[in-house]
Amino acid sequence: MNFNLTSTPEEEKFRQEVSDFLDKELTDEIRRQYAIDKGLGPEGRAFALKLGAKGWLGLGWPKEYGGSDGSIIHDFILVQEFARHEVHIPNEVARFMSGPTILHHGSEEMKREFLPRIARGEIEFGLGYTEPPAGSDLLAMQMVAVEKEDCYLITGQKTFNTESHYADYHWLAAKTDLNAPKHESISLFVVDQRSPGITITPIWTLGGERTNEVFYDDVRVPKNRLVGEKNRGFYYMIEALNYERLMMSQTERLVPILNRIIEYTRQTRRNGKLMTEDPLVRNKLAQMAIEIEVSKCLEYRAFAMLFEGRSPDYESGISKLFISELYQRLAYTGMEILGFFGRLDEDSKWVPLRGEISRLCRMSVVYTIGGGTSEIIRNLTATRGLGLPRN
């Protein structure tokens, strides 16, 4: 398989335009205003509006829904350039999960209500899948949506809803048929995050970011906020999940981190010698460089399937699995190289590399959980990729 990130002059022109824009507009504060870091602030919201004005948050969507010209390759170029500049696309849940699902399965009313505002960068979505007893097992969720004459009454609890304290809407999965098979019992809803009966409480994580528990107590959700068909939510989630795993995790984001660690070893002496002269250090850095290249190959393989009109299944899971665990291996390698100084907080004047390695070490734990735990993805790879029996 041969695949180039930009294969035409027009695509290279677009890549350069995105790169130039990010060189001009990005600040460290905007980079840190990501869901599992500082969370969205006014600078991040202003940045999203600028992206919307450029037409980059609606790439490939029909113009009648606020979209702009472009194809799947433009989407991939966009996320790659954002990764290379170490920033995440604002409101990734809406752009890569809710928006495409609404586009493909939502009612005409829902498309016209939400897609233009997503494309303009005006609204944020929080993800409401995980529940305390269910974890990564979506089929084990217990939140119930009871259909009434004019609405659904929803009761239950979600956990690890990272964007909920600033999101405008909740992309919510709930049970709508308790007697049906599990995979035919779940529906998706778009819920106003400030609806009466919703309580949001914070959970502070090891990485220092805020996530949330969200409680529903007979929350009234209009029937027109049901996404697509009733009881088809599980299929919509799985469809979106494979796309999400490709678009929200890019190997390119690790390259600048590795380069800074390498530069640190070039400037730092230990036991009277530059660290780059230590064979053990050189070996560890070489191993990380090799694994980054392997991760890129897995990522490009899965994306090439999308580009060819095929739907990746376990291939996107393998890519997500490898890069999420690579985040951890790179963080741990960095901590070994920095030594005791690497454990200092980022506000310490003695901490190397502004404390980013220590922060990455703590934050990387969630990368092997969000979007499907490593254990779940290994099981799916075994059954779908290798054809092994479930038992």
pLDDT tens-digit readout, 310-337: 877 788 889 999 999 999 999 999 999 9
Exposure string of 111-122, with b = 16+ CB inside 10 Å and e = fewer, is bebbbbbbbbbb
Percent over 70 (pLDDT), the chain:
98
Q: What is the pLDDT of residue 5?
A: 60
Please give the pLDDT value at position 1.
38
**81: burial class by Cβ within 10 Å (0-12, 13-18, 19+)?**
buried
pTM exceeds cut of 0.75: yes
Residue 242 pLDDT greater than 80, yes or no: no
Comparison of pLDDT for 365 and 245, the residue scoring more: 365
- Per-residue pLDDT, averaged over 83-102, amounts to 91
Residue 249 has pLDDT above 80, yes or no: no
Domain ranges for the chain, please list them: 9-124, 127-230, 249-385
The answer on pLDDT for 3 being more than 60 is no
Classify domain 9-124 by CATH number.
Answer: 1.10.540.10
Least confident range of 50-54, 84-88, 245-249: 245-249
Of the listed 244, 299, 315, 356, which one is catalytic? 244
Which tokens belong to 315?
A: 């291939």
Q: Which fold has domain 127-230?
A: Butyryl-CoA Dehydrogenase, subunit A; domain 2 (2.40.110)
CA torsion, ordered 179, 185, 186, 191, to nearest 10 deg:
-50
Tokens matching residue 195: 């609806």
Please tell me the predicted confidence (pLDDT) of residue 247.
Answer: 74
Provide the 8-state DSSP code for 128: E
Residue 36: which pLDDT band, with cuts at 50, 70 and 90? confident
Q: Catalytic residue at 209?
A: no
pLDDT, mean of residues 87-98: 89
What is the average pLDDT across 62-86?
Answer: 90
The CATH code belonging to domain 249-385 is 1.20.140.10
Mean pLDDT, rounded, of the chain: 91
| For residue 120, pLDDT beyond 90 | yes
82 pLDDT above the threshold of 60: yes
Q: What share of the chain is helix, strand, coil (3-state, %, to 5)?
A: 55, 15, 30
Q: Is the pLDDT of residue 4 over 70?
A: no
